[in-house]
Structure 1
């Protein structure tokens, strides 16, 4: 049995909203049609995906598993469609994603010299979209940083780099030559992930700069960030016992592309 991707898309909409009415509105279809499609998918799979009662809708164990599997499946289908459209326009393009601080120039030039018929472009990715942009085909591969959701991806280590404390220029420790983590006990830490419910989430390194300069908190960043971004209201101090930052190349595990293989070789060479 082949899965109907349309039904899977309908399922994901309901699973994320846990509400058939709102999912139907989002999908621009009638709710009875959506309900029939979900029942048809359940029949195809031979298992219930949702528990329905007077209190609302909840995922079954099978539904939770399908949701985990469906997201990369749909992203891969979108990627196939995007690459097909690109090929139909006669464009042979290769897009390399990169996180802030990672310099891709050498690898891009080496790859471009070996493949003069390919239009090589670079696009910055952020911590909250690095996996999705790979899986949906927006970028062909990307230089990513941990933490990363590895499902559906192939990862290849590139390097590790030391991390430094990013501090306001007037901070009590800003004049130190180096620090250890215990020196930073009691500080307010800024993080990309898991913001407090009333916080505005931080997406980019530039947003971290603004928070640090304003005295909202401090953070650790890779040394490459310190080398590339200089501001008079921010200072960087090495933290000798901080866990190193790891940079990896990541690409869709389902793809078998000679261009990806060639770029990885150029990046690691």
Structure 2
């Protein structure tokens, strides 16, 4: 049996919304049509994917498994479409993703000089999409910051750099030349605690279960706005703090924080000669000088 990608897209929309009405609006189709397509998918798979009551829609174990498998399948299909369309247009491009704070100029110039017939394009990524852009084909390679989900990817280390605490300029620790992570035990962290396990080990708000919600933030700029207004602190790589320097936020070194690892990543199944050449070139770049 061949999986119908359209039905899979419908399924993912319902699984993410957990509401058939909202999913139908998102897909721009009528709700009865969506319901029929989901029932058809369940019949094809011989598995119930959702449990629907008057109050809620929930995934079954089979549904959760399909959601895990469907997302990379759909991303791969999107990537294939992009590459085929690009080949049909006869365009020769190589796209590089990179995270905030990273300077890729030296690598891009060197690669462009070796391939003057290829247009090198750049996409700035975020913590939320630095892996997605690889799987869905928006970029050929991406310079990522760990940790990431490395499933299906080839990941090569480039360099490591310190992380610093971002504090409001009037914070009690703002004038310190260096601090320990224990100095931040009573602070509110404006990011997923799992991203800073050293803080998680000593955080009072986690021990007392008084942690405030973390606001939705889509960029470094938004994060620093929250820090500046005293809503919490953040731990970020030194190069990001340097790039986004501002007078109302102070970067303070933390002695016992693990360094952030920066790596080059690409989809493992891709056999592009250009990817291998860029990977070799990236290994020769002095990334410390570029920062």
**Contact 1:127–1:192 (Cα < 8 Å) also in 2:** no
Among candidates 212, 216, 225, match of residue 231 of structure 2:
216
Distance, in Å, in 1 between the alignment partners of 2:279 and 2:114 is 13
1:239 corresponding residue in structure 2 = 254
Among candidates 276, 284, 290, match of residue 261 of structure 1:
276
2:12 corresponding residue in structure 1 = 12
1:50 corresponding residue in structure 2 = 50
Question: How many Å apart are 1:219 and its aligned residue?
Answer: 1.8
1:174 corresponding residue in structure 2 = 174
What is the DSSP-based 3-state SS (H/G/I as helix, E as strand, rest coil) of the residue aligned with 2:265?
A: strand
- In the alignment, does 2:78 pair up with 1:72? no
Alpha-carbon spacing, 1:15–1:231, altered in 2? closer, same or farther (3 Å)? closer
**Contact 2:190–2:215 (Cα < 8 Å) also in 1:** no
Alpha-carbon spacing, 1:209–1:31, altered in 2? closer, same or farther (3 Å)? closer
- Unaligned runs of 5+ residues in structure 1 are none
Distance, in Å, in 1 between the alignment partners of 2:44 and 2:152 is 24
Alpha-carbon spacing, 1:24–1:214, altered in 2? closer, same or farther (3 Å)? closer
2:128 corresponding residue in structure 1 = 128
Alpha-carbon spacing, 1:118–1:186, altered in 2? closer, same or farther (3 Å)? same
- In the alignment, does 2:222 pair up with 1:207? yes
What is the correspondence of 1:76-155 to structure 2 with a 5 Å cutoff? 76-155=76-155
Question: How many Å apart are 1:56 and its aligned residue?
Answer: 4.3
Aligned length: 268
Distance, in Å, in 1 between the alignment partners of 2:139 and 2:243 is 23
Distance, in Å, in 2 between the alignment partners of 1:65 and 1:148 is 21
**Contact 2:188–2:212 (Cα < 8 Å) also in 1:** no
Distance, in Å, in 1 between the alignment partners of 2:192 and 2:119 is 33
Question: How many Å apart are 1:111 and its aligned residue?
Answer: 1.6
- Unaligned runs of 5+ residues in structure 2 are 195-210, 285-291
Give the TM-score normalised by structure 1.
0.89
Cα root mean square deviation, aligned: 2.3
2:197 corresponding residue in structure 1 = none
Alpha-carbon spacing, 1:208–1:53, altered in 2? closer, same or farther (3 Å)? closer
Question: How many Å apart are 1:69 and its aligned residue?
Answer: 0.9
2:244 corresponding residue in structure 1 = 229
Structure 1 residues 238-247 or 174-183, which shifts more? 174-183
What is the DSSP-based 3-state SS (H/G/I as helix, E as strand, rest coil) of the residue aligned with 1:130?
A: coil
Question: How many Å apart are 1:196 and its aligned residue?
Answer: 4.8
2:208 corresponding residue in structure 1 = none
